[in-house]
Structure 1
């Protein structure tokens, strides 16, 4: 039985390591992650994790783990910013208010697909021009849902979180351990 991580995220590899796991292979799926017209955040995350799990090639007996993290303000999905201008717009929108971070995970075996969505809430402070310019200069906003990663330099912008920190980073540990154990993968093995 092999554990296949359907993600190219180094953070997800690190979180699996905390659980005592090293993926046997890493196979990021190539799917269209654009939201459908009028698609709401939770159904979007559910659709994406299922599509990712189905898109990852696997052999009989393999266990595939996929995840997706989405930032949402109300009904609006904030994906990965296309450029610096969009990242600035996202961070300006998020500044001074609470928003949701939804992380979905899917574990696929030969005969079933198990999914969970973990919702956390965070509050980002309003950024000064110096903070915004400094953060943009780091480039850390690139490839990150909502234009930030809470485990990076942007972590200084969040005075309040409610929920799972590991889910906000990209992989909820409790739910991941539970689903992998249900699929026959031992966690915390020595």
Structure 2
């Protein structure tokens, strides 16, 4: 079986990749520093971030597949990343309260053996429930919104805030499994093959 490297420190991405291919992969966090670049559409920026993360981690390996992703919430033309304070999380949730928005993930897979690189993006539409200020405050106090794109975790307590979604649920969590499976197939790797369990 080919060596697979997840270029991410995200425990959510690790769990999702494990769900898809089993536990036989390495986790190696990228040191690439994400930055806003004017002139790029959100999809282009998130793909660029995923490419740079993958290339950064690929320097440490001679063979195998390197998988990376970058996820953000897009609302009103703005990219909402991860809040690093409770105040910022509350501000984001008030902005998204009762609104429809998109979650976009840029995803890159580098095949070091074949010298191939495939990058795509996945977009999912999310409808956030209408919440009271007390509900928002109570959710923020759980600490769950910290370090989550858009300040909510659809796979955690934040599930009660998500009225409905249209598209890939796993994309909202941080790793679009359908899109990843398609990219792996393009590179000649089937998630159903022996060894992926």
TM-score greater than 0.5 by the shorter chain? yes
**1:70 aligns to 2:55 (yes or no):** no
Aligned to 2:121: 117
Contact 1:78–1:146 under 8 Å retained in 2: yes
Aligned to 1:97: 99
**1:152 aligns to 2:145 (yes or no):** no
Q: Could you report, residue by residue, the CA deviation over 1:122-153 in whole angstroms, capped at 9, with x for unpaired residues?
A: 01122212211211111001111111111111
1:23 CA drift (Å) = 4.3
Cα separation, partners in 2 of 1:107 and 1:156, compared to 1, 3 Å: same
Q: CA RMSD in A?
A: 1.6
Gaps of 5+ in 1: none
1:39 CA drift (Å) = 4.2
Gaps of 5+ in 2: none
Give the secondary-structure state (helix, strand or coil) at the position aligned to 1:77. strand
**1:135 aligns to 2:139 (yes or no):** yes
Quick one: distance in 1 between partners of 2:93 and 2:38?
Answer: 23
Please say which of residues 8-17 and 131-140 is displaced more in the overlay.
Answer: 8-17
1:174 CA drift (Å) = 1.2
**Where in structure 1 do 4 or more consecutive aligned residues deviate above 4 Å?**
none
- With structure 2 as the length reference, what TM-score do the two structures score? 0.89
Cα separation, partners in 2 of 1:145 and 1:170, compared to 1, 3 Å: same
| Aligned residue among 150, 166, 173 for 1:169 | 173
